[in-house]
């Protein structure tokens, strides 16, 4: 640890690593039960949502995203990114959530009842720790030559920078489809590269006919059962069922999904299963990890199966965790 780090004198009942929607739910549950809490995030509040594409619309309706009995009012049937950011700011204010932003957690020492959470700026004492870090900060890499070129992006923010350029979009899910349609409509020359034989069934139903029609008429070029072989400054090589093809290219948007930060989880004492999804090990009823007093919450619980948990179906994680913490409190007394 840095020599100039401070040690805060407060000892919290729980420290929550990650200030996303599920982290918020945990902070709200702490407030409901009269427990002190601290949320710590290496980015801004609801950092994953902030990093969504600027024009993104959620798959779910607003009421399914609500937390803490705070109404989520959206202008349309499904809320967009901007409305979600505003909503979670209101949640933060309503529940007076105690959050530190832009402070990366580096480790945890101690044990149940007496943990110290170490960050790059200071140290904080807590009786328990909840990890609600999600997975959005760690893209699945293509692992091909040229992936480190500046023209390769693993995040899509907005379409304007790609207008009138040749864009290759790698992926078959909602992120890839949204990027393809938005850049296409800004006069980009768009090619989709899909590993499987078709787009994912989970593509949002209101955009699926649009992308399928654009592919069918070849307004957007599609290579299926295909992978990127190599990326160069002005072109890329694609492995296709008919052999390798080379196309001109200005930008590659690798919309290949994300994964939990496994090195960080292991460093915090979380055991990872050896199954195909590299699932963090936790008790299914209490969400307690193999390290006593350290809990998992939200999408991070799914490992590589990133579609298992969402904001909508993780509402009860906080309740189960705090029910377990209540048991520990009774034992201490």
Give the residue-averaged pLDDT of 215-238. 97
Residue 3 binned pLDDT confidence (cut-offs 50, 70, 90): very low
Give the residue-averaged pLDDT of 12-22. 96
Q: What is the pLDDT of residues 49-64, one digit of tens each?
A: 888 888 888 878 888 8
Cα–Cα distance list, 159 to 156, 165, 167 (Å): 8, 11, 11
C-alpha closest to that of 249 among 238, 261, 260: 238
Strand segments (E) across the chain: 6-17, 37-40, 99-100, 105-111, 114-119, 122-131, 152-153, 166-170, 189-193, 221-223, 227-231, 235-240, 243-248, 251-254, 294-296
The fold for domain 6-138+258-332 equals: FAD/NAD(P)-binding domain (3.50.50)
Give the residue-averaged pLDDT of 153-181. 95
CA angle 219, 52, 188 (to 5 degrees): 25
The confidence score (pLDDT) of residue 1 equals 42
Cα–Cα distance list, 290 to 106, 149, 155, 284, 325 (Å): 19, 40, 33, 12, 15
The confidence score (pLDDT) of residue 260 equals 78
The confidence score (pLDDT) of residue 2 equals 45
CATH top class, domain 152-254: alpha beta
The confidence score (pLDDT) of residue 52 equals 84
Q: What own/partner pairs with CB < 8 Å and gap ≥ 24 does 277-281 have?
A: 277/302, 277/303, 277/304, 277/305, 278/303, 278/304, 279/303, 279/304, 279/305
The confidence score (pLDDT) of residue 332 equals 64
Q: What is the pLDDT of residues 125-144, one digit of tens each?
A: 999 999 999 877 788 899 99
Instruction: In whole angstroms, give the CA distance from residue 91 to residue 24.
Output: 8
Higher pLDDT, 161 or 269: 161
**Helix locations, the chain, DSSP H:** 21-32, 47-50, 62-65, 81-94, 174-184, 208-216, 262-267, 315-332
Total-model pTM: 0.85
Residue 288 binned pLDDT confidence (cut-offs 50, 70, 90): very high
CATH 3.50.50.60 residue ranges of the chain are 6-138+258-332, 152-254
The confidence score (pLDDT) of residue 278 equals 87
Instruction: In whole angstroms, give the CA distance from residue 266 to residue 27.
Output: 24
Instruction: In whole angstroms, give the CA distance from residue 191 to residue 188.
Output: 10
Q: Find out whether 300 and 130 touch, Cβ atoms under 8 Å.
A: no
Instruction: In whole angstroms, give the CA distance from residue 272 to residue 25.
Output: 24
Give the mean pLDDT of the chain: 91
Paired with 190 in beta bridges are 167
The confidence score (pLDDT) of residue 294 equals 97
Q: What is the pLDDT of residues 75-101, one digit of tens each?
A: 888 899 999 999 999 999 999 999 999
């Amino acid at each position: 640890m840095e020599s100039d780090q401070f040690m805060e004198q407060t000892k919290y009942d729980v420290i929550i690593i990650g200030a996303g929607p599920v982290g918020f739910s945990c902070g709200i549950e702490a407030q409901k039960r009269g427990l002190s809490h601290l949320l710590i995030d290496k980015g801004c509040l609801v950092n994953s949502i902030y990093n969504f594409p600027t024009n993104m619309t959620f798959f779910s309706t607003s009421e399914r995203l609500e937390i803490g009995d705070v109404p989520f009012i959206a202008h349309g049937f499904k809320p967009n990114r901007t409305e979600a950011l505003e909503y979670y700011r209101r949640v933060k204010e309503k529940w007076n959530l105690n959050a530190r932003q832009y402070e990366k957690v580096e480790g945890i020492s101690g044990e149940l009842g007496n943990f110290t959470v170490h960050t790059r700026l200071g140290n904080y004492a807590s009786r328990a720790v909840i990890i609600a870090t999600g997975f959005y900060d760690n893209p699945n890499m293509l692992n091909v030559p040229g992936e480190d070129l500046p023209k390769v992006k693993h995040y899509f923010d907005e379409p304007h920078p790609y207008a009138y350029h040749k864009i290759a979009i790698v992926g078959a899910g909602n992120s890839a489809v949204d990027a393809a349609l938005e850049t296409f409509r800004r006069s980009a020359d768009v090619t989709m590269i899909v590993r499987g034989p078709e787009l994912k069934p989970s593509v949002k139903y209101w955009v699926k006919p649009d992308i399928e029609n654009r592919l069918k008429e070849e307004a957007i070029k599609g290579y299926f059962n295909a992978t990127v072989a190599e990326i160069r400054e002005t072109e890329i090589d694609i492995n296709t069922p008919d052999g390798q093809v080379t196309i001109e290219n200005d930008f590659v948007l690798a919309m290949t999904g994300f994964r939990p930060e496994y090195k960080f989880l292991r460093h915090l004492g979380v055991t990872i299963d050896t199954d195909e999804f590299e699932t963090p090990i936790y008790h299914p009823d209490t969400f307690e990890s193999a390290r006593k007093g350290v809990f998992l919450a939200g999408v991070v619980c799914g490992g590589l199966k990133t579609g298992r948990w969402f904001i909508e179906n993780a509402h009860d994680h906080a309740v189960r965790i705090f029910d377990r913490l209540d048991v520990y409190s009774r034992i201490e007394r």
